[in-house]
């Protein structure tokens, strides 16, 4: 592909991403993969270049762009070399016309920038949310005491964490294929450490998804005790079993939950769990480094629904924890309504509980919990709170 053809390809992909964001469709990475699957003429260098152009354009735009071309023109602003590729040659984009739409720059849609500012996330710092994320891995202690890591790793602050540059391809590394390492953001690893799971305990992962945190808990428990992984999404939960086999994690019980009827499936665990992890559904504002188009998908109505769901799941989790046990609340969000305010409201609703700020090697105190952030800690954005039942 010529340089101009790469730009045009990125524009076509951006159109798909924008349409999907408006309709709550497929994520950008899947759309890009599908686009190239039907265009075999594109070599590996072409795919890498087009993908990079598309993501750079997404990161350059604040409000959702009018079109893929408008997004690419925002990226081209001030870049004469990129503008020169709009020359109308074969497979290249048409020349730039004076006055045609150019997407607005910025961090996110205006209403969302205001919500972040209200949570003391200033825009200058928040722009780190649009940097490329590194590749973080967790050494799986269930697999081996010694692991031959691929070259290029640096220690992270997580107990078993290592960090690689963003472009690292780890999937074919022997350590990964053998289950000796798992891809997991350092912040996510730290939220698992906040659970302080011990062998022999009863631990419930209430919102397990595909099981990334469940596997970290299994390793901390050394496959001893009762570990229950729950979710309302059958497809996501089904991914846990093969991952557990690869990681050597045994004895995990998967429980499919019916939304708003969770206690029907979990009544046998009422007042018995040593710890319950609530990694609650949220806006994902802390994950924009990996999913920059997510900031175009979120609406105020969706945010309100997330907040209500988080509150309800915390109430469910409180029914499962034994006296003296602990509840760990996590969201990958930097918004106080999904973090500090949510933790405060939990304590108002539930007498007989107290908050204990987790002791982690990163993060800053935010209300009753800790906030992890890209600019301060080099992690995805998280809020984590630990409650203890008296």
- Catalytic positions are 332
Backbone angles phi, psi at 254, to 5 degrees: -95, 130
Distance CA 111, CA 97 (A): 31
> How many other C-beta atoms can be found within 10 angstroms of the C-beta atom of residue 69?
24
Q: Please state, in angstroms and as integers, the Cα–Cα distance from residue 343 to each residue in 58, 165, 187, 333, 368, following that order.
A: 33, 34, 19, 13, 6
DSSP 178: T
Q: Which of 203, 182, 357, 198 lies closest to 277 in space, CA to CA? A: 203
Q: How far is CA 56 from the centre of its chain?
A: 19
Going by C-alpha positions, the residue among 231, 239, 306, 241 that lies closest to residue 262 is: 231
DSSP 8-state class, residue 59: H
> Which residue do the tokens 């009863």 mark?
202
Would you list the DSSP string of 100-149? Answer: ---PPPSSS-HHHHHHHHHTT--HHHHGGGGSPPPEEEEE-TTT-SS--P
CA-CA-CA-CA torsion sign (142, 143, 146, 149): negative
Contact 232, 220 (CB under 8 A): no
Distance CA 37, CA 127 (A): 32
């Amino acid at each position: 592909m010529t340089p101009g053809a790469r730009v045009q390809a990125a524009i076509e992909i951006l159109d798909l991403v924008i349409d999907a964001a408006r309709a709550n469709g497929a994520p950008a990475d899947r759309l890009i993969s599908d686009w190239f699957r039907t265009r075999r003429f594109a070599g590996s260098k072409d795919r890498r270049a087009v993908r990079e152009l598309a993501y750079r354009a997404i990161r350059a735009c604040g409000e959702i762009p009018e079109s893929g071309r408008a997004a690419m023109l925002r990226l081209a602003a001030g870049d004469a070399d990129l503008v020169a590729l709009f020359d109308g040659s074969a497979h290249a984009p048409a020349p730039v016309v004076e006055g045609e739409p150019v997407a607005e720059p910025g961090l996110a849609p205006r209403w969302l920038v205001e919500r972040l500012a209200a949570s003391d996330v200033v825009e200058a710092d928040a722009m780190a949310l649009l940097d490329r994320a590194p590749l973080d891995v967790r050494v799986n202690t269930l697999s081996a005491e010694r692991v031959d890591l691929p070259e290029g790793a640096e220690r992270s602050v997580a107990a078993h964490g290592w960090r690689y540059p963003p472009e690292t391809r780890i999937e074919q590394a022997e350590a990964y294929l053998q289950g000796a390492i798992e891809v997991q953001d350092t912040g996510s690893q730290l939220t698992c450490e906040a659970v302080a799971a011990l062998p022999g305990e009863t631990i419930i992962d209430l919102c397990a998804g595909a099981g990334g945190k469940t596997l970290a808990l299994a390793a901390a428990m050394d496959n001893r005790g009762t570990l229950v992984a729950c979710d309302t999404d059958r497809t996501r939960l089904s991914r846990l079993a093969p991952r557990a086999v690869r990681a050597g994690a045994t004895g995990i019980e998967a429980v499919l939950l019916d939304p708003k009827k969770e206690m029907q499936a979990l009544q046998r665990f009422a007042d018995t769990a040593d710890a319950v992890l609530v990694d609650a559904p949220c806006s994902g504002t802390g994950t924009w480094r990996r999913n920059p188009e997510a900031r175009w998908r979120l609406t105020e109505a969706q945010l309100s629904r997330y907040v209500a769901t988080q509150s309800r799941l915390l109430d469910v989790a409180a029914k499962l924890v034994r006296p003296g046990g602990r509840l760990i609340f996590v969201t990958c969000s930097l918004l106080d309504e999904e973090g500090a305010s949510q933790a405060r409201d939990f304590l108002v609703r539930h007498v007989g509980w107290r908050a204990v700020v987790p002791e982690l090697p990163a993060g800053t105190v935010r209300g009753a919990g800790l906030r992890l952030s890209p600019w301060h800690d080099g992690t995805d954005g998280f809020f984590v709170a630990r409650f203890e039942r008296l």
